[in-house]
């Protein structure tokens, strides 16, 4: 299939994207995190900038270069991510895309000193983190909001549930149980759902998928009511 031409489909639009993992500190030298590489979010930021958008990328710690023309705002924790994303949306945002793999829980307390190994077992108490995507989607001035869902089974059902629960305009789902695709990989295959339809993209490079997603988002946010 030929790549559809994205041209300047996002000219004049302000896009905010979250990407990468978050890190939730346990003590000064340890944290809870995950294997997110940030590749899908960075590829989307690059594709959106190429399509003419002003792009702010709120990113957890990753090792990727910042795409040309993209403003990157680094964060560590889920709490930082919510603050930075809310600030970026306050500054003006037409399209919000959440690709970040946010830690769902954080340690209830962060130890001030390195925890010593002085017992045979230990328990860490965790508390729920704020949901950046749901918080942005619930704003009265919500932008066109796109979520991601990584699932290992019942992809369509879990993804469309998530879209309704979080009041999203679109959700991009991938089946992370497929070896060599998705998390920490260069290749991906996704199913995109919106209230009246769906599209299946890939398997393809994350760059190619990002280009197709930008075209789909541009199409649908124009039709949107906001």
The encoded tokens of residue 223 equal: 């039709």
Q: Is 129 a catalytic residue?
A: no
Residues numbered 95 to 114 that lie near Ca ion (CB under 5 A) are 104
Peptide linkage before 219 cis (omega within 30 of 0)? no
Give the count of residues interacting with Ca ion (CB under 5 A). Answer: 1
Residue 104 labelled as part of a binding site: yes
Quote the DSSP letter at residue 173: E
Residue 117 labelled as part of a binding site: no
Q: Which residue is nearest to Ca ion (CB)?
A: 104
The encoded tokens of residue 89 equal: 């949306």
Task: Choose which of 57, 64, 98, 170 interacts with ligand CTP (CB under 6 A).
Answer: 98
Task: Choose which of 15, 102, 163, 217 interacts with ligand CTP (CB under 6 A).
Answer: 102
Task: Choose which of 150, 163, 190, 221 interacts with ligand CTP (CB under 6 A).
Answer: 150
User: What's the gap between Cα 90 and its chain centre?
Assistant: 18
Residue whose CB is less far from ligand CTP, 44 or 150: 150
> Per DSSP, which regions of the chain are E strands?
14-19, 24-27, 30-32, 54-59, 70-74, 95-98, 105-107, 126-128, 144-151, 170-175, 187-194, 197-205
Number of Cα atoms under 13 Å in the Cβ half of residue 155: 20
104 touches ligand CTP (CB under 6 A): yes
Residue 148 labelled as part of a binding site: yes
132 touches ligand CTP (CB under 6 A): yes
Residue 206 labelled as part of a binding site: no
In the annotated binding site, the residues are 104, 114, 148, 162, 166
Q: Could you list the active site residues?
A: 34
Residues that bind Ca ion (CB under 5 A): 104
């Amino acid at each position: 299939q030929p790549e559809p031409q994205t041209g300047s489909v996002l000219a004049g639009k302000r896009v905010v994207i979250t990407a990468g993992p978050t890190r939730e500190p346990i003590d000064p030298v340890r944290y809870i995190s995950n294997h997110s590489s940030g590749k899908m979010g960075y590829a989307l930021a690059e594709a959106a900038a190429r399509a003419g958008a002003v792009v702010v990328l709120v990113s957890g710690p990753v090792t990727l270069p910042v795409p040309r023309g993209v403003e990157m705002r680094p964060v560590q924790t889920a709490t930082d991510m919510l603050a930075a994303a809310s600030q970026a949306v306050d500054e003006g945002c037409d399209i919000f895309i959440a690709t970040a793999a946010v830690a769902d829980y954080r340690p209830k307390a962060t130890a001030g000193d390195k925890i010593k190994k002085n017992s045979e077992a230990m328990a860490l108490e965790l508390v729920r983190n704020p949901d950046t995507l749901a918080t942005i989607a619930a704003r009265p001035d919500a932008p066109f909001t796109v979520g991601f869902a990584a699932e290992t089974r019942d992809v369509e059902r879990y993804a469309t549930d998530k879209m309704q629960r979080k009041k999203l305009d679109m959700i991009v789902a991938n089946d992370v149980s497929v070896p060599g695709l998705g998390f920490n990989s260069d290749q991906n295959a996704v199913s995109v759902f919106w209230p009246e339809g769906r599209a299946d993209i890939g398997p393809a490079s994350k760059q190619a998928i990002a280009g197709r997603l930008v075209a789909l988002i541009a199409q649908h946010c124009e039709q949107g009511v906001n």
